């Protein structure tokens, strides 16, 4: 971790809000800005990062220094680590108790040879349980920048996200901001954005709790289809309205000062 400049966790108290999507597109957008980026998937029971970035079936190698993360063939600017690379079968269930999960996460953080990185993005599972505590305890001495909180616009999602914000405050993890994912639907024919869920939930939550609002990312069929096979949306759809939303979110995240823990 000594060579990693910035460490950002992607959190949400709610499952299914697109944390892995936000984590992967954040990492890929940073790569296109010329940054060296690590992407750590600590969703041990549902690792989806290898598929989203097109690295399914790849293996992790070991060296004298530790595990070597997996790199896409086209460049060495993105280093990826996930339990998905260690499973003999992609459909195998990870049935582990808390202590084994904690040990694996500590190994990911302490024994992976990340090298020199500008950013390490940590994709987490939903909730506020063992995995989150293990990540924060392991990163504490390395001074993580903070957390990006992902929500969808509906009230039921906002309610669970409040718990995640409370968790961050309790453990002293700074909150870098809130991003509202699935904020509207981009029509593949006319590119018009329609609010099929509620709208502005993430923004209203940010204003209420005085947390930075990082922006809204809509549902986009092109992004969904691309992630099924893996790849970088930010490089394959340069004129997309969704890409502009992602770029605004990333730009605001990396140019604004890191807040103090509450």
By DSSP bridging, strand 61-62 and strand 67-68 are antiparallel
Residue 260 within any structural domain of the chain:
no
pLDDT of residue 129: 80
| CATH code for position 43 | 3.40.50.300
The vertex-138 CA angle with 99 and 40, nearest 5°, equals 90
Residue 247 within any structural domain of the chain:
yes
Residue 259 within any structural domain of the chain:
no
Residue 73 within any structural domain of the chain:
yes
d(CA 140, CA 256): 22
d(CA 135, CA 19): 16
Q: Which runs of consecutive H residues, i.e. helices, occur in the chain?
A: 19-32, 49-52, 98-110, 130-139, 155-171, 201-209, 221-229, 233-236, 241-255
Residues of the chain whose pLDDT is less than 70? Answer: 74-75, 198, 256-262
> Which amino acids are annotated as binding site for ATP, given as ranges?
13-20
> Which amino acids are annotated as binding site for [4Fe-4S] cluster, given as ranges?
187, 190
pLDDT of residue 114: 93
Residue 114 within any structural domain of the chain:
yes
Residue 261 within any structural domain of the chain:
no
Residue 69 within any structural domain of the chain:
yes
Number of domains in the chain: 1
Its pTM stands at 0.90
Residue 98 within any structural domain of the chain:
yes
pLDDT of residue 253: 87
Domain enclosing residue 155, as ranges: 4-254
> Which amino acids are annotated as binding site, given as ranges?
13-20, 187, 190
pLDDT of residue 112: 95
């Amino acid at each position: 971790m000594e060579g990693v400049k910035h460490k950002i966790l992607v959190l949400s108290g709610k499952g299914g809000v697109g944390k892995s999507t936000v984590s992967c597109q954040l990492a890929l957008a940073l790569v296109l800005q010329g940054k060296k980026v690590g992407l750590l998937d600590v969703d041990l029971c549902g690792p989806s990062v290898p598929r989203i970035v097109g690295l399914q079936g790849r293996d992790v190698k070991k060296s004298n220094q530790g595990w070597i993360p997996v790199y896409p063939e086209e460049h060495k600017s993105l280093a990826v680590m996930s339990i998905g690379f260690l499973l003999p079968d992609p459909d195998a269930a990870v049935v582990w108790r808390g202590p084994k999960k904690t040990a694996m996460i500590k190994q990911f953080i302490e024994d992976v040879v990340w090298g020199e990185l500008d950013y390490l993005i940590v994709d987490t599972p939903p909730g506020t349980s063992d995995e989150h505590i293990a990540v924060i305890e392991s990163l504490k001495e390395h001074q993580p920048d903070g957390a990006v909180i992902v929500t969808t616009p509906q009230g039921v999602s906002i309610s669970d996200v409040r718990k995640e914000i409370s968790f961050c405050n309790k453990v002293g993890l700074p909150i870098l901001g809130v991003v509202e994912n699935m904020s509207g639907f981009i029509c593949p024919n006319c590119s018009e954005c329609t609010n099929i869920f509620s709208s502005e939930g993430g923004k209203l939550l940010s204003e209420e709790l005085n947390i930075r609002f990082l922006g809204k990312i809509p549902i986009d069929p092109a992004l969904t289809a691309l992630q099924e096979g893996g790849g970088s949306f930010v490089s394959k759809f340069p004129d997309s309205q969704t890409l502009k939303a992602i770029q605004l979110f990333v730009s605001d995240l990396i140019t604004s000062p890191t807040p103090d823990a509450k």
